[in-house]
Amino acid sequence: MKSFDVAIIGAGPAGLSTALFLTRKGYSVVVLEKRVFPRHKLCGDFLSPVNWPLFHRLGIAEEILFTDHEKIRAFRISAHGGAEASSTFPSRDGRITFGLGIRRDSFDQILLGRAEKTGAVIRQGVRVREIGHDRGRWSVTFDQDATGEQLCATILVGADGRNSWTAQRLGLQPRGKSAAAVVAFQLHLTGVRGIEGEVQVHLFSGGYAGLIGLGNGIANLCFAVERNQVKKCHSIESLLEESLYKNERLRDALVKAERVGEVHSTYPVFFSPRCSYSAGFLLAGDAARVTEPVTGEGVYFALKGGELAAQTIHRAFTRGDFSAVGLSVYERACKKAFFVRAGVNRMIRALIYRPALARPLIELSSRTSLPVVPLVRLLCRGSWEKRVGEGETRAV
């Protein structure tokens, strides 16, 4: 039986971030992933500017910029009825903040490659069958190519998404109310108009849509709709017509668009949070259900959560304390780090499904700076693009 310091179930941004930060401190780490990369993940495909410091600490900033992407320097929001507001990302001392529109499968592949280079053992296409905890060690039984294998580790991290099998297996139940009845969809398009350099959010009755360019003429449309509206429609085209196209600004952007590839969907979108730790165990990323990232910060929550998980695990090894009490500092650290952003997400989420409440705020923002500009500056606080020379830029 192979032995590791840490075993991570799930190779998304949270799991790979945890692995990267741990291997750099000299820990032996194995990551178990049921899919084989590159693999699709429903996502808004937006990397907020706040991620850049994390990208540099992870050692992936330069590689990201060499991958197909579109630089995003502004935010725009619209509501049914014509209300619209926008804000450029903040600038200071000649430096311009920018985010990225980039395919999630490309981003995950970069993280995976970097984790392997730092020494993490990545096992793809494996299905975990059983986990057990005895005498301070975890045993993990999994299948690959019809062959059963087993490994052991001191710490186990569940980073296997909102429907985390690991959390369910360990009986970590959600806290609070059940999931809201909202379905999410994603499709890639060509021929989308009026989105150059912007990440856009368009509200309509019963949901909202995010629209962003990904480079090479491809755009990502990711939207969430109340389930009762989805049931009334027999195709994706009728859903667009009956729901999204009620927003005139969004209809104009998509009027000549053509779909590329498959339509992806997931249900539900929102989950109540759950306890994220127990003796010798942590949950990271979506498995911990931090929030529904309506402001496009899902990747940030995952990467930062992974960094905090790694810091907690390092502390546990240093002190020799792998108890639930010792690991509880992780949940407190996450709450502190995400307090403002999670609060903004909850506030915006309460508004986007109620256009009648959101519209007056958008109209106000079209005449003044409030509240869109301060919110954009708050959420984008992080990185800057420094002008190197004429037509050249680099991340700093």
Please report the pLDDT score of residue 394 as a whole number.
40
Helix 355-367 with 329-352: angle, nearest 10 deg: 90
Query: How distant, in Å, are the alpha carbons of 44, 67, 114 from that of 13?
Result: 14, 17, 12
User: For residue 393, is pLDDT > 50?
Assistant: no
Domains in the chain, start-ordered, CATH in brackets? 2-41+103-177+272-347 (3.50.50.60), 68-101+180-269+354-396 (3.30.9.100)
Query: What radius of gyration, in Å, describes the C-alpha atoms of the chain?
Result: 21
Residue 60 in 3-state DSSP? Answer: coil
| CA gap 70, 326 in Å, rounded | 43
Give the number of C-alpha atoms closer than 13 A to the C-alpha of residue 315, restricted to the C-beta side: 14
pLDDT bracket for residue 384 (50, 70, 90): very low
Nearest to 203 by CA among 238, 242, 245, 168: 245
Least confident of 98-107, 116-125, 181-190, 350-359: 350-359
Residue-wise pLDDT for 23-66, tens only, equals 999 999 999 999 999 999 999 999 999 999 999 999 999 999 99
Residue 43 in 3-state DSSP? Answer: coil
CA torsion 323-274-282-146 (nearest 10°) is 120
Q: What is the pTM of this model?
A: 0.93
**Residue-by-residue DSSP string for 325-382:** HHHTHHHHHHHHHHHHHHHHHHHHHHHHT-HHHHHHHHHHHHHSSTTHHHHHHHHHTT
Residues in Cβ contact with 353 at an 8 Å cutoff, skipping those fewer than 6 apart: 182, 206, 207, 208, 226
User: For residue 252, is pLDDT > 60?
Assistant: yes
For residue 296, give both structure tokens.
């496009």
Please report the pLDDT score of residue 96 as a whole number.
65
Contact 285, 185 (CB under 8 A): no
Please report the pLDDT score of residue 395 as a whole number.
38
